[in-house]
Structure 1
């Protein structure tokens, strides 16, 4: 639905994008509630309250940058991309947000929250 609504692609293209995964893009204006709300709305997580607690209790293996979003004592970096797909568990998504940021210096090049990915790059 997100891809059809916001990126104007066909239903078939949207299915491919969803199965291949997406890059979640977080700008300096992103908020914790906004991230959780979008993950819930687009079906990546099933319970927003449980996921918020998971972000606070999951091990954060990276130091957040100064402008990071706070989740308890943990941090989620902005100006970054995060690879997600629908087969990931809530725990995997939390770990990705807390520890697997990919800094994006040209963030404003696209004004989308989710971008098609195609595959995960390590």
Structure 2
């Protein structure tokens, strides 16, 4: 009974963590641009293909206890999540600066074209 409760709780917490990180991952990917989305999904797939056999290999080491292997794998994945967050945060800051510069230029161009097409005074009222 204790093994059943332990495995059920581990499965519950792993799925809970996945469903917490999933929307953040998708939002982060979308904020980097839709053109980057296929590359990010391929990268995620490749990293999963690498991480699964490596974690299995770590668990199969005879001189490493299963508890220590579990703590090691959890710490590695925690550090990777923090690293990905830092990389996402710095790259999203760069793209937000780029988007804010473009949106400023677009609004200025739009205002100039509106000012040229219709007679509007400095207060924004029709003349």
Alignment TM-score > 0.5, same fold: no
| Length-normalised TM-score, structure 2 | 0.25
| Length-normalised TM-score, structure 1 | 0.26
Larger strand percent: 1
